[in-house]
Amino acid sequence: MRDLKANTDTRERILDAAERLFMENGYEATSMRTITGAAEVNLAAVNYHFGSKEALLREVFRRRLAWLNRERLQALDRLEQQAGGAPLKPSQILEAFFGTLLRMGEDESLGGMTFLRLLGRTLTEPAEFIRTFFAGEYAQVIDRYKLALFSALPDVPKAEIVWRLHFMLGAMSYAIAGTDVLQVVTGCEVGDLAGEAVADDAGDTALARRLAQRLMPFLLGGLRAPLPQFQDLPTTRAAHSGGQQAQI
């Protein structure tokens, strides 16, 4: 019993430390010695429990994404069920997708803002094994939501929907990854922006909630924006009708 306790304890101490340090420094710049030092475990423990540094990163994400993927799919299931075959409203779909994620930021037991920031930053990491991993972990969920948006917006070209989904993911990732990016870009504190003081520790969950409420209108506004016109693009195969509104 103590044996098993120590086992999971060591594993999770490593995962917690790695999650925080990967978020703070990035994957490449975080050494095994830093991780095991912060977790107060032996250096060899990572390779013993996970096999390699790469496998550790994957496990850090698997631990959280298992919940997130399940929750996102369930949220969509619930919406489609209570709609009874009728197409969903885009705002419902975005709420299910982005709202579920941002709710992770409010719950420390799900990783909180630490994991959200890590996720946002890691999505742009160029390492091959990371992109491969995320492709496998994300594909199923993204595909479901893509299809939901397709039938929610039957008059908008599918290519346009995919592009805008990509834009939305970018806006969200930067928003959650970069409180420091925000500082760099804006030269002021997040707390000042929100119009209230934000404590670094406990204020994170409040930050996630406020972020969700600021982000969602922005994303919806972008999604339902007028379609591009491509007037000066001779290479475009089929000319879209100029200034067409996305039917939302």
Partner DNA sequence: GCTTCGATCAAACGTTCGTTTTAATTGTAG
Partner DNA sequence: CTACAATTAAAACGAACGTTTGATCGAAGC
Residues 53-72, interacting with DNA (CB under 7 A)? 53-54
Contacts to DNA from residues 122-161, by CB under 7 A? none
Contact 36, 42 (CB under 8 A): yes
Judged by CB, which is closer to a copy of itself: 51, or 243?
243
Torsion of CA 241, 243, 247, 248, to 10 degrees: 160
144 vs 9: CA distance, rounded Å: 36
Query: CB of 21: closest distance to DNA in angstroms?
Result: 10
Q: Which is nearer to a copy of itself, 8 or 213 (CB)?
A: 213
> Under rule CB under 8 A, which residues in 138-197 are in contact with a copy of itself?
138-139, 142-143, 146, 157, 159-160, 162-175, 177-178, 180-188, 192-196
Closer to DNA by Cβ: residue 44 or 239: 44
Which candidate, 137, 138, 152, 140, places its Cα nearest to that of 93?
152
Indicate which of a copy of itself, DNA, none lies near residue 26 (CB less than 5 to 8 Å, by partner kind): a copy of itself
Q: Is 231 near DNA (CB under 7 A)? A: no
| Candidate segments 19-27, 73-81, 82-90, 96-104, binder of a copy of itself by CB under 8 A | 19-27
Binding mask of the shown chain, residues 5 to 44, with x at each position contacting DNA by CB under 7 A: -xx-xx-------------------xxxxx------xxxx
Q: Are 152 and 88 in contact (CB under 8 A)?
A: yes
Cα Rg, the chain, nearest whole Å: 21
Looking at residue 237, its amino acid is R
* CA–CA separation, 168 and 3 (whole Å): 46
In the complex, the smallest distance separating the C-beta of residue 134 from a copy of itself, rounded to whole angstroms, is 5
Interface with a copy of itself in residues 65-124 (CB under 8 A)? 120-121, 123-124
Considering the rule CB under 8 A, would residue 219 count as an interface residue with a copy of itself?
Answer: yes
- Binding partner at 147 among DNA, a copy of itself, none, C-beta below 5 to 8 Å by kind: none
191 neighbors 211 (Cβ within 8 angstroms) = no
Instruction: Select 41 or 172, whichever has its Cβ closest to a copy of itself.
Output: 172
Residues that bind DNA (CB under 7 A): 1-4, 6-7, 9-10, 30-34, 41-49, 52-54
